[in-house]
Structure 1
Amino acid sequence: MNILVCIKQVPDAKDVRLDPETNTLAREGVSSIMNPFDRHALEEAVSLKERHGGEVTVLSMGPPQAEEVLREAISCGADHAVLVSDRAFAGADTWATSYTLARAIETLGNFDLILCGKQAIDGDTAQVGPGLASRLQVPYVTCVQKTRSVDDGSIVVERMMDDGYDVVRLPLPALLTVVKDINEPRVPSLKGKMKAKKARIRVLSAADIGAEEGCIGLAGSPTQVVRVFSPEPRGDRTVFSGTPEEQVEQLVAVLRSVL
């Protein structure tokens, strides 16, 4: 079973801050991590490989430093890693991103299953997975919380719903986006880290994947982020400090004063 996992390098949420002058996310000096939802997609891919055989390829679109998360993915069990990187991809929205990833996947060849995280924590759109499936013309299921079974030519999964879950069977090749409930990601082994350090990361440019200039980056993006801002504070607030016990005492004192 040949599986491809799309992963993204995103700013660490605990370090995210806004540039007061540009009103955009400040990325300089902010540490980057593998998108948490993609980490679960990777774990599911490696688990499926261990049960059914095959190989796992990880694919990321981003600047050269995105190699870091690709090597991390190899240390966790991925077999191959591909980085789609070109200055022409800068400014891509979800539409242009799904186009670029689709062209890259078509360049790499056929896969039985494509796994994505439900969404990226820096954009929270949850659009790239479905958009990618539509471009590749393969069936897809979003918000998968469990893989029940895989047999010749099909896969059965549980899709998370507000009031429970659906059981869905879909033919392969297919695409799934997964939620965090699906598994617990493994910790890289020493052997895995050594393999990742020596691994060759294949890099594909816009020309390598045959991308049309008007379909990638800012030029191929029908939507653009004009401004990012922090919501204005509403009402008075009180900040408690100290140990949890001390904070509880402070809270009780405030509540008593208003009751």
Structure 2
Amino acid sequence: MEFVVCIKQVPSSDKIDINPETGSLVRESTGAKTNPYDLSAIEACLQVREKVGGKIHAISMGPKQAKTALREALALSVDEVFLISDSCFAGSDVLTTSYTLAQAIKTIAKPDIIFCGKQSTDGDTCQVSPELAEFLGIPHALYVVEINDINDEYIVVTCDMGSYRETVKMNFPCLISVEKDSFIPRFSSLRNKIEAQKKPINTIELKDLEDKDKNNYGYCGSPTKVSKIYVPEIKRETTILDGETDEVVDKLFLKLDEWEVL
């Protein structure tokens, strides 16, 4: 069987610069790590491969720095990795990101299952995986917490929908988006980490895709634009009220009235 896992490199800190023109994160301004939800997606895929066999392709869309996340995937025993990187992909919103991933997957393989993490810690939209499935025209299941059954024709999963759980059966090809705490990532050995540094990372650019119109990608192709972005300023003022209890209470009520709280 053929599997594709979508992973993303995200900032390792909440202190990050922002491009004021595009509203996108300046990822070079802080450290980076593999999105925790995507590590769970890798684990879910590894568990499926252990049951039915097959080949795992991991893909990541981003700058050259994202190779670090792909090498982590290689260290976890992913078979082959691809970096989707081109200057015209910069500034993508969730829709163009999903479209770019769909175009890239078509050049790699015809996967039976695509695995995604529920969300990324920098965007938190939870929209890329269902949009990716729609672009590929395949069924999908979100918030997957358990893989109940799998064979050569279909997979059965349990989805946590908040107030209830549902069991979903899907024929291949399909996409599943997994919850982070349900598939705890395994550790890679030192030997595997060393070997991962020697393995190749394939690059996919605009010229490799079926749709080569750059206006359909990146900031140009994104239907949503950030009109304004800023870092919130937290301003606090401290007032100490002295005196006996009754006196302090009176002063407090006067202050609350002054602030129009009452």
TM-score range, shorter chain: 0.7 to 0.9
1:217-256 alignment, distance < 5 Å: 217-231=218-232, 233=234
In structure 1, distance between residues paired with 2:144 and 2:69 = 23
1:68-217 alignment, distance < 5 Å: 68-211=68-211, 212-217=213-218
In structure 2, distance between residues paired with 1:236 and 1:55 = 59
Q: Give the structure 2 partner of residue 252 of structure 1.
A: none
Task: Describe the SS at the equivalent of 1:185.
Answer: coil
In structure 1, distance between residues paired with 2:19 and 2:208 = 38
Task: Describe the SS at the equivalent of 1:224.
Answer: coil
Q: Give the structure 2 partner of residue 244 of structure 1.
A: none
Contact 1:59 1:82 in 2 (8 A): yes
Q: Give the structure 1 partner of residue 49 of structure 2.
A: 49
- Corresponding letter in the other structure for 2:224: T
In structure 2, distance between residues paired with 1:126 and 1:64 = 24
Task: Describe the SS at the equivalent of 1:175.
Answer: strand
Deviation at 1:20, TM superposition (A): 11
- Corresponding letter in the other structure for 1:144: V
Q: Structure 1 residues 220 and 24, CA, compared in 2 at 3 Å: closer, same or farther?
A: closer
- Corresponding letter in the other structure for 2:215: G
Contact 2:143 2:178 in 1 (8 A): yes
TM-score relative to the length of structure 1: 0.85
- Corresponding letter in the other structure for 1:210: E
Task: Describe the SS at the equivalent of 1:92.
Answer: coil
- Corresponding letter in the other structure for 2:173: P
What is the alpha-carbon root mean square deviation over aligned residues? 2.2
Contact 2:113 2:173 in 1 (8 A): yes
Task: Describe the SS at the equivalent of 2:72.
Answer: helix
Contact 1:15 1:31 in 2 (8 A): no
Contact 1:24 1:228 in 2 (8 A): no
- Cα distance per residue 1:106-131 (max 9 Å; x no partner): 11120110001111111111111011
- Corresponding letter in the other structure for 1:224: K
Q: Give the structure 1 partner of residue 246 of structure 2.
A: none
Q: Structure 1 residues 24 and 154, CA, compared in 2 at 3 Å: closer, same or farther?
A: closer
Contact 1:24 1:227 in 2 (8 A): no
In structure 1, distance between residues paired with 2:20 and 2:82 = 36
In structure 1, distance between residues paired with 2:85 and 2:16 = 25
In structure 2, distance between residues paired with 1:2 and 1:86 = 26
Q: How many correspondences in the alignment?
A: 238
Task: Describe the SS at the equivalent of 1:207.
Answer: helix
In structure 1, distance between residues paired with 2:112 and 2:25 = 37
Q: Structure 1 residues 77 and 93, CA, compared in 2 at 3 Å: closer, same or farther?
A: same
Q: Give the structure 2 partner of residue 16 of structure 1.
A: 15
Q: Structure 1 residues 24 and 42, CA, compared in 2 at 3 Å: closer, same or farther?
A: closer
Q: Structure 1 segments of 4 or more deviating over 2 A?
A: 14-29, 225-238
Contact 2:16 2:29 in 1 (8 A): no
Structure having the higher Rg: 2
TM-score relative to the length of structure 2: 0.84
